[in-house]
């Protein structure tokens, strides 16, 4: 019998390209958030006196697909994981991995971001200790616009991805019988059976339709409740990843089309930029929506195709990166803001300062992760890592314990 997208033989032993793409995607998130400190006219928690208008375009080109790639890769992981677990096991395992770090970080990691923003806005008195006591008590209202999320008394800032991902995972988990039904398998097989131009164009249609219907009524908020347009985009690409996860044919086709998708992506974004620069105001309408969504999918398809071609091998750095990416994600924005507050009084200029800020952020993430978080067993779950097995555990493979892979990226046994 030939392999189908739902048979174990259809999946490789391990998808090294997905491991690598996850690490690289979150590295882009770090660089993007450093850029948010320096890009002119875009609101963020702190803004540099060296803000530059020219940064808007590279930031915009990156912003059109960066989080969509992250959610698609997360969907791929779920596609593997869902083969071995039932609905409640999925929700339980994902809840521990996603919501425990979120709660910890909102109480311990994120508050400094709110404090620095409030002080910069002149609406919070200096003194982090007093701020933290009031912040954690959640019993006193903050001045309006003191910091992002002040109206709620507490904020998750850059960690909004975690509750969004848990919500999408729970939706899939609670409806697993539908996804596994004949109708659900038919939809999965039709998507994974797309070839040629159909694979590069047809997945754009749901994204375009939701954008045309929702974008102007529901601007991005990252508050989970009313973010309907972003939900429609992120959940759609999340489902694409869930469908694609264990299929080999669609990945081979993306690899085959990688040069075509790259050329088309460059042409589409160039057209978008020309039209945007030539417009008197922010252009809108079906044409611009079409270009944005077409570029989004072509860029993601290009990255997936090139990643499958060049990254699907056991790189020496993958073991370290796979375990480090989650703590780095949790830590990075607080370290960026702390670094910005440290460097701003030195007036180092628009070249040296951002270079040092990137270096300090990366060094801080590395030092805290490798020097503390990965070594202290009770800290590991608070940053999304599995507890390290002791040397007495017969399953331990090294003094540091085995690599705790992102669940689902290793193919299941034939008994599954």
3-state secondary structure 289-332: HHHHHHHHHHHHHHHHHHHHHHCCCCCCCHHHHHHHHHHHHHHH
Per-state percent for the chain, helix, strand, coil, to nearest 5 = 65, 0, 30
Residue 377 to residue 372: CA distance in whole angstroms:
9
Domain ranges in the chain are: 8-110+156-383
Q: Which of 243, 263, 246 is nearest to 200 (CA)?
A: 263
| Residue 415 pLDDT | 28
Residue 159 to residue 3: CA distance in whole angstroms:
39
| Residue 83 pLDDT | 82
Res 187 pLDDT > 70: yes
- Mapped onto helix, strand or coil, the DSSP state of residue 26 is helix
Residue 248 to residue 124: CA distance in whole angstroms:
54
By percentage, how much of the chain surpasses pLDDT 90? 76
| Residue 109 pLDDT | 97
Lowest model confidence (mean pLDDT) among 251-255, 317-321, 333-337 = 317-321
Prediction pTM value:
0.88
* Mean pLDDT, all residues of the chain: 88
Q: Give the count of beta carbons closer than 10 Å to the beta carbon of residue 21.
A: 23
| Residue 281 pLDDT | 63
Range 107-113 contact pairs with CB under 8 angstroms and sequence separation of 24 or more: 107/136, 109/330, 109/331, 109/334, 110/155, 110/156, 110/157, 110/158, 110/159, 110/334, 111/135, 111/136, 112/334, 112/337, 112/338, 113/45, 113/147, 113/155, 113/157, 113/333, 113/334, 113/337
Res 221 pLDDT > 90: no
pLDDT band at 7 (very low <50, low <70, confident <90, very high): very low
Q: Give the count of beta carbons closer than 10 Å to the beta carbon of residue 41.
A: 9
Four-residue CA torsion sign, 330, 367, 24, 53: positive
**Torsion-angle region of residue 138: left (phi > 0), alpha (psi -120 to 50) or beta?**
left
By percentage, how much of the chain surpasses pLDDT 70? 89
Res 409 pLDDT > 60: no
Residue 319 to residue 19: CA distance in whole angstroms:
9
- Rounded mean pLDDT of 178-199? 95
| Residue 304 pLDDT | 97
Q: Give the count of beta carbons closer than 10 Å to the beta carbon of residue 52.
A: 13
Res 138 pLDDT > 90: no
pLDDT band at 13 (very low <50, low <70, confident <90, very high): low
pLDDT band at 72 (very low <50, low <70, confident <90, very high): very high
pLDDT tens digits, 265-308 = 999 999 999 998 887 666 668 999 999 999 999 999 999 999 99
Res 140 pLDDT > 80: no
Res 189 pLDDT > 60: yes
Alpha carbon distances (Å) from 160 to 40, 104, 153: 23, 14, 16
pLDDT band at 211 (very low <50, low <70, confident <90, very high): very high
| Residue 390 pLDDT | 64
């Amino acid at each position: 019998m030939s392999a189908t997208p739902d048979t174990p033989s259809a999946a490789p032993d391990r998808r090294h390209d997905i491991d690598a793409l996850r690490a690289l995607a979150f590295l882009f998130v770090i660089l993007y958030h450093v850029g948010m400190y320096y890009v002119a006219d875009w609101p963020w928690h702190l803004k540099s006196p060296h803000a530059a208008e020219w940064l808007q375009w590279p930031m915009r080109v990156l912003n059109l697909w960066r989080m969509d790639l992250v959610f698609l890769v997360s969907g791929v992981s779920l596609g593997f994981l869902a083969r071995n677990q039932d609905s409640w096991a999925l929700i339980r395992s994902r809840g521990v991995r996603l919501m425990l770090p979120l709660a910890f970080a909102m109480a311990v990691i994120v508050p400094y971001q709110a404090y620095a923003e409030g002080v910069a806005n002149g609406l919070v008195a200096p003194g982090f200790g007093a701020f933290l006591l009031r912040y954690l008590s959640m019993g006193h209202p903050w001045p309006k616009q003191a910091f992002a999320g002040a109206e709620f008394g507490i904020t998750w800032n850059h960690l909004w991805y975690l509750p969004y991902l848990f919500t999408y995972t729970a939706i899939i988990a609670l409806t697993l019988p539908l996804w596994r039904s004949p109708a659900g398998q038919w939809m999965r097989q039709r998507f994974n059976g797309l070839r040629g131009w159909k694979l590069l164009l047809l997945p754009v249609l749901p994204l375009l339709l939701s954008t045309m219907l929702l974008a102007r009524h529901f601007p991005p908020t990252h508050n989970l409740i009313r973010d309907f347009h972003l939900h429609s985009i992120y959940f759609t690409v999340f489902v694409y990843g869930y469908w694609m996860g264990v299929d080999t044919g669609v990945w081979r086709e993306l690899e085959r089309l990688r040069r075509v998708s790259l050329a088309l992506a460059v042409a589409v974004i160039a057209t978008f930029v020309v039209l945007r620069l030539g417009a008197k105001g922010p252009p809108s309408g079906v044409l611009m929506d079409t270009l944005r969504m077409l570029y989004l999918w072509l860029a993601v398809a290009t990255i997936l195709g090139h990643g499958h071609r060049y990254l699907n091998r056991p790189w020496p750095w993958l073991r370290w990166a796979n375990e480090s990416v989650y703590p780095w994600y949790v830590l990075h924005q607080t370290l960026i803001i702390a670094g910005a507050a440290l460097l701003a009084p030195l007036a180092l200029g628009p070249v040296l300062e951002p270079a040092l800020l990137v270096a300090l952020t990366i060094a801080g993430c590395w030092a805290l992760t490798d020097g503390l978080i990965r070594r202290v067993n009770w800290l590991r779950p608070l940053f999304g890592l599995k507890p390290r097995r002791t040397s007495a555990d017969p399953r331990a493979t090294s003094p540091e314990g085995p690599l705790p892979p992102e669940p689902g990226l290793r193919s299941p046994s034939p008994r599954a």
